[in-house]
Structure 1
């Protein structure tokens, strides 16, 4: 034994346990099995666990203390198995006994406490019975008798595991709202039979979970057709320079319509992305389980793989086509929106250029008006200044200064006018220089 102290990953034990979390069952024949797949949220899963504890109490068994990925317990001849999956929980009830000529007269749920199943929360997607008959020491029933067990519905059958068993089903709901599988065990051991039944349970459950995406695709597809036409019309309007009435198109209105289309596409993607991804994942599981059956054909009947793939694969491709169409529509809307935004920006730049040109023209007019006002202001200032000079000359004359008032006033008039004009021009030049210096100081983009 090594004394080395290894640093183990904290999830190492959990990873080992995961490989054994859902073991195959060992099922003898004959047996009666009922299987339910219930779609539910996390809160409903917790409520279902409390409901499972109540079942264990009613059956006088050990009550589980914690909710596990897979619960399995034996209650006399009744086996109960509960498995938690991503979006659903499956229940398998196995009655290890038979004794009735009709294989579906008594089922796995026939021995449950009265009323327990009626109060199970969640939406049941898959519900079917599996009847296992041992024909190692007796002949198998003929086709008409088998058909009578399926209420005369069309049969689908095969011989899995290289003919070690015979499987019959109709892939339809019967009068009790349950599907039916009939297995004749020819030479399988209990372990082999358990693995075969487990694959059949998973095939039927995953098949129905796969098809949940098809109604979503069918509901979305007509709306995509309408939105595709609307986008084509918007693109046509965008590519034309003018509308039919000769008026320029309203880019803002077009952008608003494109935004509305984009929001609708994103809404449909939010509704369908998880469902379509789940559809692809469930289909892979179904095809894998069908491959594991290793079916041999029964003359005149479709095998399980032929029947399922004939309708399942087109349904999945429909979902994928709608998903691809959503992605394509989203990309096209993005491209058209980018082009429209570019045109809007160019239009705004053109409007800004026109605005700048208009402002430049107005500046020139204001400059001309300013020069006119400056001329008038020189005359006005000169007029008032000469008035002051006249008063000043009068004061000097009154004080005894012998001067000719008219001559002195006449001589001072041109001097005043020239001085006012020079001072006004100098003030204007100073402010113009300050404006030029301020413009040069701004950072250039």
Structure 2
């Protein structure tokens, strides 16, 4: 019989709570019109992000608000101002908004200098955007007149419920300006359009961070490409061993430098592509439509953002191609050095064989001389013995000492040869025993 089991009794995956919370980590916030919004994004490293989280948590204890469970999203109230704080992988955003004085767009000075808002920057500033959200009572042409006509972009958004205007240019206070005219009723819808518009501005700026890195890397790449071209040309010329070693060392240093450059730029180029994809995604979510003769956000960014991303991609491809060229050159040079080494080893072995044959001939000559010397010595002893026997009268009358000496010559030669062969055999045996040891 099956028994019902309470959900709490099931063992849960350690990441289940974080996964469920991620879907609700950064909700769209209602945004009443009119509203003026100041959006800041700061580049933060690990230490800066940790310090900023501690600072924002201290603020949260003193001001009413609602924090996400992962502590990466927070809203707080400071009188007439609302703060939306978000922390991402490599940047942190502060978004301040208020309805006070929002009836006339872009009519207020810098709120930081005027003291309307005050906070500590957690890192280096990347994005500063002044966004004005107004209702449908504002004339679209009047709003368009507030921007630079040469770079003005105007789109319909959210299936005609809103219009978004921007020129992506800095004003006198260092803010890029955006305006949203929300034609329909609904604070949540206005907040959704505003957040997506601000994300487009944030992500397109972050995507462009790869372009300065690409420009810095290009001169280094050109110098490396010229060097590898010169080394490759030198490889086709006849070089001595010392020159080849120098070229191989230069190639090894060049490979290390190219890998270091690729490692330095890999994260930034990858991040630029990711942010570029997010820009396209947010533009799709805006559901933009063309408004009259105005340029759309997608068309403007395609003409300016896409070439920057392609530049990053081209530099990254050049880095990969350079590393491949250097590796091929190193392989080619090592192959040449291997062939040269094998040729030298072959020549050395030939010399050793010639020396061994010469040594063998010398050894045989020495052995022959030694045999002759030993035979002469034995023959002398035979003559001495034969003379003594003759003087003692022990020889037959028909024989003389000289005849006895002559007859002992073959025996002396045989004895000498056997003795030298024995010595050679013992020498070979001793050499084999040394090799075994």
The verdict on a shared fold, with TM-score over 0.5 as the criterion, is yes
Say whether residues 1:275 and 2:278 are aligned partners.
no
**Residues 53 and 64 of structure 1 are in contact (CA less than 8 Å); yes or no, is this contact kept in structure 2?**
no
**How has the CA–CA distance of structure 1 residues 121 and 69 changed in structure 2, closer, same or farther, with 3 Å as cutoff?**
closer
CA distance in 2, matches of 1:94, 1:421: 117
**Cα drift, residue 28 of structure 1:** 0.8
- 1:196 corresponds in structure 2 to 193
- Structure 2-normalised TM-score? 0.84
- 1:182 corresponds in structure 2 to 179
**How has the CA–CA distance of structure 1 residues 127 and 388 changed in structure 2, closer, same or farther, with 3 Å as cutoff?**
farther
CA distance in 1, matches of 2:202, 2:123: 15
Q: 2:228 aligns with which of 225, 228, 231?
A: 231
Of stretches 426-435 and 86-95 in structure 1, the one that deviates more from structure 2 is: 426-435
State the secondary structure of the residue aligned to 2:280: helix
**Cα drift, residue 198 of structure 1:** 0.7
CA distance in 1, matches of 2:373, 2:170: 107
**Residues 200 and 282 of structure 2 are in contact (CA less than 8 Å); yes or no, is this contact kept in structure 1?**
yes
**Residues 258 and 323 of structure 2 are in contact (CA less than 8 Å); yes or no, is this contact kept in structure 1?**
yes
**Cα drift, residue 382 of structure 1:** 5.1
- Structure 1-normalised TM-score? 0.82
**Residues 385 and 416 of structure 1 are in contact (CA less than 8 Å); yes or no, is this contact kept in structure 2?**
yes
**Cα drift, residue 338 of structure 1:** 2.1
**Residues 31 and 94 of structure 1 are in contact (CA less than 8 Å); yes or no, is this contact kept in structure 2?**
yes
CA distance in 2, matches of 1:414, 1:203: 114
Gaps of 5+ in 2: none
State the secondary structure of the residue aligned to 1:420: helix
Gaps of 5+ in 1: none
**How has the CA–CA distance of structure 1 residues 64 and 379 changed in structure 2, closer, same or farther, with 3 Å as cutoff?**
same
**Residues 32 and 108 of structure 1 are in contact (CA less than 8 Å); yes or no, is this contact kept in structure 2?**
no
Say whether residues 1:12 and 2:6 are aligned partners.
no
Q: 2:314 aligns with which of 296, 321, 340?
A: 321
Q: How many residues align?
A: 426
- 2:163 corresponds in structure 1 to 166
**How has the CA–CA distance of structure 1 residues 102 and 23 changed in structure 2, closer, same or farther, with 3 Å as cutoff?**
closer
- 2:25 corresponds in structure 1 to 21
- 1:260 corresponds in structure 2 to 253
**Residues 32 and 130 of structure 1 are in contact (CA less than 8 Å); yes or no, is this contact kept in structure 2?**
yes
Say whether residues 1:373 and 2:366 are aligned partners.
yes
- 2:74 corresponds in structure 1 to 71
Counting only pairs closer than 5 Å after superposition, residues 100-111 of structure 1 correspond to structure 2 as: 101=104, 103-105=106-108
Q: Residue by residue, what CA displacement relative to the aligned partner does 1:214-236 show, whole Å, maximum 9, x if unpaired?
A: 11112222332333333334334
**How has the CA–CA distance of structure 1 residues 187 and 62 changed in structure 2, closer, same or farther, with 3 Å as cutoff?**
closer
**Residues 372 and 413 of structure 2 are in contact (CA less than 8 Å); yes or no, is this contact kept in structure 1?**
yes
**Residues 241 and 248 of structure 1 are in contact (CA less than 8 Å); yes or no, is this contact kept in structure 2?**
no
CA distance in 2, matches of 1:91, 1:392: 125
CA distance in 2, matches of 1:75, 1:341: 70
Q: Residue by residue, what CA displacement relative to the aligned partner does 1:378-402 show, whole Å, maximum 9, x if unpaired?
A: 34545666777789899x88xx966
**Residues 36 and 102 of structure 2 are in contact (CA less than 8 Å); yes or no, is this contact kept in structure 1?**
no
**Cα drift, residue 432 of structure 1:** 4.9
**Residues 33 and 95 of structure 1 are in contact (CA less than 8 Å); yes or no, is this contact kept in structure 2?**
yes
Say whether residues 1:34 and 2:33 are aligned partners.
no
